[in-house]
Amino acid sequence: MEREPSATAAAPAAAALFAWLSDFCNPGCVKRITGGGGHSAVVTDEGSLFVCGLNKDGQLGLGHTEDALYFTPCKSLLGCPIQQVACGWDFTIILTENGQVLSCGSNSFGQLGIPHGPRRCVVPQAIEPLREKVVSIAAGLRHALAATASGMVFQWGTGLASSGRRLCPGQTLPLFLTAKEPSRVTGLENSQAVCVLAGSDHSASLTDAGELFVWGSNKHGQLASHAAFLPVPQKIEAHCFQNEKIAAVWNGWTHLVAQTETGKVFTWGRADYGQLGRTLKSHEGWKPKKQDPSLCCSRPSKSTPSSLHCLTGATEVSCGSEHNLAVIGGTCYSWGWNEHGMCGDGTEANVWAPKPVPALRSLSGLRVGCGAGHSLALCQWPALPALGQHPRVTGPFPDATEEAGSQEAMDQERNWKDRHAEASPQSQSDRFRNGGLVTETL
DSSP string for 194-257: EEEEE-SSEEEEEETTS-EEEEEE-TTSTTSSSBSEEEEEEEEPGGGGTT--EEEEEE-SSEEE
Mean pLDDT, the chain, integer:
83
At 235, the pLDDT band (50, 70, 90 cuts) reads very high
CATH 3.40.50.1820 fits 7-440, yes or no: no
Close Cβ partners of 441 (under 8 Å, ≥ 6 residues apart): 340, 341, 342, 373, 374, 375
The pLDDT of residue 415 is: 43
Closest by alpha carbon to 78, among 106, 46, 103, 104? 46
Closest by alpha carbon to 204, among 102, 5, 191? 191
pLDDT tens-digit map of 293-345: 443 443 445 789 999 999 999 999 999 999 999 999 999 999 999 999 999 99
At 24, the pLDDT band (50, 70, 90 cuts) reads low
pLDDT tens-digit map of 111-156: 999 988 899 999 999 999 898 999 999 999 999 999 999 999 999 9
List helix spans (H) across 393-438: 407-422, 425-431
The pLDDT of residue 389 is: 57
Close Cβ partners of 350 (under 8 Å, ≥ 6 residues apart): 273, 274, 336, 337, 338, 339
Task: Decide if pLDDT at 251 tops 60.
Answer: yes
Q: Which residue did the predictor score with more confidence, 324 or 280?
A: 324
At 27, the pLDDT band (50, 70, 90 cuts) reads low
The pLDDT of residue 380 is: 72
The pLDDT of residue 365 is: 83
Which of 59-73, 203-217, 276-290 shows the lowest per-residue confidence on average (mean pLDDT)? 276-290
Report how far residue 355's alpha carbon sits from residue 192's, in angstroms, rounded to the nearest whole number: 36
The pLDDT of residue 388 is: 59
Q: Which residue did the predictor score with more confidence, 189 or 22?
A: 189
pLDDT tens-digit map of 359-397: 999 888 899 999 999 999 988 755 555 555 554 444 443
What average pLDDT score do residues 220-240 get?
97
Percent of the chain with pLDDT over 70: 75
Number of alpha helices (DSSP H) and beta strands (DSSP E) in the chain = 4, 27
Closest by alpha carbon to 273, among 372, 196, 360, 204? 372
Report how far residue 322's alpha carbon sits from residue 409's, in angstroms, rounded to the nearest whole number: 30
What average pLDDT score do residues 19-42 get?
78
The domain spans of the chain are 7-440
Q: Which residue did the predictor score with more confidence, 420 or 262?
A: 262
Percent of the chain with pLDDT over 90: 70
Closest by alpha carbon to 362, among 394, 390, 404, 387? 394
Does the N-terminal peptide bond of residue 124 adopt cis geometry, omega within 30 degrees of 0? Answer: no
User: Any idea of the CA torsion for 35, 40, 43, 49, to the nearest 10 degrees?
Assistant: -140
Q: Which residue did the predictor score with more confidence, 33 or 294?
A: 33
Chain mean position to CA 289: 29
Instruction: Write out the H or E segment, with its range, that includes residue 136.
Output: strand 134-139
Give me the residues paired with residue 215 across strands. Answer: 203
CA 151, 155, 157 angle in degrees (round to 5)? Answer: 165
What is the reported pTM? 0.81
Task: Decide if pLDDT at 17 tops 60.
Answer: no
